[in-house]
Amino acid sequence: MEKFLTLFITFQNSYINIMRIAIFVVMAWIGGLKAFTYEADGIVPFVINSPFMSFFYQNTGNTVINEQGKEVAEYTLYKNPEGKTVQKNIEWHTQNNTYVFSYALGLVIITIGILVLLGIWFPKIGFWGGLLTTGMSLITLSFLLTTPEVYVPNLGGDFPTPTYGFPYLSGAGRLVLKDIIMLAGGLIIASEAAKRMVQDKRNLF
């Protein structure tokens, strides 16, 4: 058993690099998808309700009266379900700067992923990549406090549902919650890079 455990200890640095590669894959894939309409549309509820990001959109704070006569946030009437495109919704998102913002965000995410990957060979770059990963994850996790769509809504039915609102995460909420892992991963790779920087004085700031 001791030899088995020693094997894991021996390859600890390799496992940390695997984490870097994993973060890079997630960042590059998700960041790349930000160039596509359905992904740009999908992040609107997160961005438009965020105190840190909502100013990027033109229609933040706008409300309208829906078909039921209830005042709702304007963006809720212009959602494109994944796999379906509605022209009037596209026009609204274009005017809202949804797509321009998504392109820029995707570029930022991919850049962070590249910094993380380069940390395998360059600790100083990897240190900043880890910190940026942690910072991005903190912003994403804040959506759990600001975005109504992260919790199951009360849509009614044949009888009252007891499972809506906090703590019942929707699909969007469960996706956001997973960024706790990204946050921890960012701290781990940043600390490992910092250790290498201290060991090699030439890599200090």
Domain boundaries, the chain: 2-203
Per-residue model confidence (pLDDT) at position 11: 82
What's the start-to-end Cα distance of the chain, in Å? 42
Per-residue model confidence (pLDDT) at position 144: 97
Per-residue model confidence (pLDDT) at position 202: 64
In order along its 205 residues, the chain shows pLDDT tens digits of 888 878 887 888 899 999 999 999 999 999 999 999 999 999 999 999 999 999 999 999 999 998 888 999 999 999 988 888 899 999 999 999 999 999 999 999 999 999 999 999 999 999 999 999 999 999 999 999 999 999 998 887 788 778 899 999 999 999 999 999 999 999 999 999 999 999 887 666 6
Kindly tell me the sign of the dihedral angle through the C-alpha atoms of 65, 95, 89, 176.
Answer: negative
Question: Which residues, at least 6 apart from 34, have a Cβ–Cβ distance to it below 8 Å?
Answer: 40, 43, 102, 103, 105, 106, 109
CA distance 180 to 189: 14
Per-residue model confidence (pLDDT) at position 87: 93
